[in-house]
Structure 1
Amino acid sequence: MGKLFWLAIAIPLVLTNSVAAFQWYQYEYHHFNETLEAHESISSSSLFQSNTLFVGLTLIHTAAAKGAVCLDGSLPAYHLHRGYGSGANSWLINLEGGAWCNSITTCVYRKRTRHGSSTFMENQIPFTGIMSNKPEENPDFFNWNRVKLRYCDGASFTGDSEDKAAELQFRGQRIWEAAMEDLMSNGMGFADQALLSGCSAGGLATIIHCDEFRSLFPSTTRVKCLSDAGLFLDVMDISGGHTLRNLYTGVVGLQGAQKNLPQICTDHLDPTSCFFPQNLIASVRTPLFILNAAYDSWQIQSSIAPPSADPDGYWHDCRLNHAKCTTSQIQLLQGFRIHMLNSIKEFSRSNKNGLFINSCFSHCQSERQDTWFAENSPIVKNKAIAVAVGDWYFERSGVKVIDCPYPCDNTCHHLVFRS
C-alpha cells in the first residue's frame, strides 16, 4: 500500500515540471531528464516516516579559490550528519546522481536547476536507506559520519573546462577534490574505515573516483566503494543506434573529462569508452561492490528504448510498466541482462569485490528505505541488500549474488511509471 501511495504522488509532480521545462531544451535531453526526475522523485519520496532525519546544506566556502564551482559558478555543497559511538571515526561519502549534460544548450538548462547550481538546492534533504541514522533501517552504517555530496557539474565529477560565452563552468573534478580536502580537514582524515558510494551518475562517479578515494587514507584504513545503479552499458538501442554512447561522447568532449578518466583505460581505449563502467571496473584496485538491477529501468527508458529510437511508440507501454511488455520485448531485455552479466565476469573473479544483481525493474536501491532494508525488501539468496553490503564490507562473508532471470523473483519492488 505504501508503494502505491508514493508512486501516485511522485509521478504527477514530475510530469508537470517536465512539461513546463520543455521549452528550454532539446527533445532527447528532455527525455533523459524526465526519466531521471521520475526515478529521483520515487526514490526521494520512498516511504518517509514522521521521524525521518533531514540534514542541512553546507556550502564548501574554500572551493571558490580553487575554481571548484558548479555549472553556474556557485559554490558546491554537501550534507553531513556526524557519527557517534563506534561509528565516530567511520565515514560514508555518498555521491549524488542526476544524469549528465552534453551540450551548451543542455548545460545552460541544467545550471538553472539543483543539478547545476547550489542556489537551487534544497536547504535540507532526507537521509534514508544507507544514509539513515536508525539501526533498524541501516544496521551497519547508522552511526557513521554520513555525507551526501551534491552533484552540480553534469559529468559525474570528472570535467575540467569552461565556456565563457555561455557562462558555464565544467569543474566536476575540482569539486571532487575540494570536497574531499574539506572533509579530510573536518575529521575524515582520522577515519579508521570509509566507504564511498553513489547512485546512478553518482554510481558511475564512485567507480571513476574509487582509487582516488583510497589514496586519501593510510594503508591501515579500511576503504571500499559501492556503486549503485551505476553500471551503464554500451549497448545498441532498439533502432540500432547508440543513444547513450552519443550522449557520453558529448559529455566527455564538452566538459574536458578525458584527462581525469583512469589512465589505465585511456591508454588503450577512446575517452568515451572509458566513461562506460564496463571498461573500468576490472581495473579498479580498491574493493568495489556492484549493486544493480538486471533490468535497470532508467537504462530501459533512456538507453535501450528511448522515444527517439521508437517513433511509432511500440515500446511506450513497456517502458513505463514491465507487465505490459510483449514476449519479444522481454526477450530483448533478457539479452540486456546477459550483456550485463558478461560485462562483470572478469570483475567478479576477484575475491575482494562484491556483487548484488537482482532481476528487478528498478534503479537506485541503496538510498530508498523500502529496497535497502525493510520488512519486505528485495532478497537474493536470503540476503537483503543492506545485509549483503554489510557482509561484504566487514568481510563477514564473500558476497557475489546474481538473481535468476525475470520473472522468478517475487521480492522485487518494480518501478511503474505513469505516461
Structure 2
Amino acid sequence: MSANVFVMVMVALVMCGQWQVYAKEEKLLVKMSLVRNASAIGAYCLDGSLPAYHWHRGFGAGARNWLLQFEGGGWCNDIQSCLARAKTRRGSTRFMSKWEVFSGILSNNASLNPDFYNWNRVKLRYCDGASFAGDSMFFNGKSLLYFRGQKIWEAIILDLLPKGLGQARKALLSGCSAGGLSSFLHCDNFKNYLPTNASVKCLSDAGFFLDERDISLNHSMRFFYKDLVSLQGVENNLDKNCTSSFYFPELCIFPQYTLRYISTPFFILNSAYDVFQFHHALVPPSADPRGHWSRCKQNPAECRPNQIDTLQGFRQDMLLALRSFYNLSRRGGMFINSCFAHCQSETQDTWFGIDSPRIHNKLPRFDQTIAEAVGDWYFSRRVTKEIDCAYPCGTNCHNLIP
C-alpha cells in the first residue's frame, strides 16, 4: 500500500467513526523449549523425541494471564502415513524450526493484538498426529511409533503450571485446524488444572470439522476419523458423556457431537466454506477422480451453478450443526464468515488489520474484526454471535486458495 493510499484509508476510517491504530508488524521470534521431564509420564512425539512448546512471557497487567495455542497440521490414521509423518516436523521435534514467529493472536503488539498482547502466550508444538488425544504405541519388531498426544498435552501443562500457569487469573485455550479440534477435546480438562476463581475460556479456529457426506455420498471424514481413533487409542480420551450416548463412540471426535457436553465458555471461529473441509471432506480426490472440481477448488468464481449449490448445502449443514449452540449457549461466541479460508487467528491480516475479514452489512459500531469479536466475547463486553450471509457476500477475505 502506498503512503498516499494509506493516508486516504486512515482519513476514511476517521470520517466513518471507525478509527483504529494499525501498526506495522515486526516479527516476534520465540525460542523452542523442550519438555525435559516428559519421559517421566511417557510423553513422546511419534518418533520418540521430546515434545516442545514456545513461550513468550506476559508482562504488565497481563503477567498472570495465559493464552495457549495448539499448533495444527492434519493427522495420520494408518501405520504407513504415521511412519512417514514421524520423519517430518509434524512427527518429531528434531525436524522442527527452533524459533517460531508469533503473529495474530500471539502478537505482543497492542496495536495488532489489543486484548491478548501482554499475556503469557504459548504455542504447543504438534507432533503426535491425533490432535493431542492419542495414548497407545505401535511396534512390529522393526518400527516403533509413539501415539502419545494425550500425554504430550499433560506433560506440557505440568511443565507450565509451576512457571505461572497454576496461578493464572485469566486463561484462553485456543488452536487452529487440527489444533482447533484439540481445543474442543481438551477444553474442560484445561479448566480443571487452573484455580477455581480463574476466568477460563476456549477458542477453536477452523476446527469445527463436520460429519458430512462427500459428493459421492460417502462418509470420508467419518471413516478417516474412525481409523484415527482406533489406531492411536483416542476413544478413552473422548468425552465420556458423549461416548456413552453413541453406538459408535468414535463419532465423539466430531465437535458437533461433543460440543453440547463442554461446560467451559467456548468461541467458534470458522469459515462456512472452510477450504480444508471443501478440499478433503466435501470433495476429496477419491470422490472426484476426473477432476471436475479442480477449477472450482482453485477459484470459487470458476464454480459452476451446481457446484455452488453443493457448497451452499455444506454451509447450511454447518449452520444446522451449530444451531443449538447459537440459540442455547449464553456464554458461547461465534464468528462464521463466508471466506474460502482455513485458520484466521494466527496471521495478522486476518486477525486484526485494516482489511481484515468482517461480517457483511453490520452497523459501523458492530463492524468488527475477528480480534475484536473474540475480545468482546472473552471480556463479556457484548454478546458476539456473528454469521455472515452466503457467498459471494463475504468481505475482506484473505487466502482464498490454500
TM-score by length of 2: 0.91
CA distance in 2, matches of 1:122, 1:320: 29
Matches within 5 A, 1:174-189: 174-189=151-166
Query: Which secondary structure does the structure 2 equivalent of 1:113 belong to?
Result: coil
Partner of 1:310: 288
* Ranges in structure 1 where 5+ consecutive residues have no aligned partner: 3-47
Partner of 1:15: none
CA distance in 2, matches of 1:86, 1:405: 40
Cα-to-partner distance string for 1:75-124 (whole Å, 9 max, x where unaligned): 00000000100100000000000111000000000000111001011010
Matches within 5 A, 1:234-383: 234-269=211-246, 270-348=248-326, 349-380=328-359, 381=362, 382-383=367-368
Q: Which amino acid aligns with 1:372?
A: W
- What's the offset of the Cα at 1:347? 1.4
CA distance in 2, matches of 1:169, 1:244: 23
Partner of 1:110: 85
Query: Which secondary structure does the structure 1 equivalent of 2:249 belong to?
Result: coil
Query: Which secondary structure does the structure 1 equivalent of 2:336 belong to?
Result: strand
- What's the offset of the Cα at 1:274? 0.7
Q: Which amino acid aligns with 2:28?
A: L
CA distance in 1, matches of 2:198, 2:250: 33
- What's the offset of the Cα at 1:414? 4.5
Q: 1:134 aligns with which of 94, 106, 109?
A: 109
Contact 1:195 1:226 in 2 (8 A): yes
CA distance in 1, matches of 2:292, 2:204: 32
Does 1:395 pair with 2:380?
Answer: yes
Query: Which secondary structure does the structure 2 equivalent of 1:168 belong to?
Result: strand
Rg larger in structure: 2
- What's the offset of the Cα at 1:49? 6.6
Query: Which secondary structure does the structure 2 equivalent of 1:344 belong to?
Result: helix
CA distance in 1, matches of 2:168, 2:218: 46
Q: Which amino acid aligns with 2:244?
A: D
Percent same amino acid at aligned positions? 54
CA distance in 2, matches of 1:155, 1:309: 24
Matches within 5 A, 1:57-76: 57-76=32-51
- What's the offset of the Cα at 1:383? 1.1
CA distance in 2, matches of 1:242, 1:303: 8
Does 1:124 pair with 2:99?
Answer: yes
Aligned residues: 372
CA distance in 2, matches of 1:186, 1:122: 23
CA distance in 2, matches of 1:238, 1:320: 17
Cα-to-partner distance string for 1:264-287 (whole Å, 9 max, x where unaligned): 110011232111111011211000
CA distance in 2, matches of 1:78, 1:409: 35
Cα-to-partner distance string for 1:248-299 (whole Å, 9 max, x where unaligned): 0111000010000000110011232111111011211000000000100010
Cα-to-partner distance string for 1:114-160 (whole Å, 9 max, x where unaligned): 11001011010100000001011100000100000001001111100
CA distance in 2, matches of 1:145, 1:156: 22
CA distance in 2, matches of 1:217, 1:346: 28
Contact 1:252 1:271 in 2 (8 A): no
- What's the offset of the Cα at 1:386? 0.2
RMSD of Structure 2 on Structure 1 (CA): 1.4
CA distance in 1, matches of 2:61, 2:71: 26
Change (3 A) 1:414 1:116: closer
Query: Which secondary structure does the structure 1 equivalent of 2:122 belong to?
Result: strand
CA distance in 2, matches of 1:359, 1:175: 34
CA distance in 1, matches of 2:90, 2:350: 24
Partner of 1:231: 208
CA distance in 1, matches of 2:249, 2:49: 28
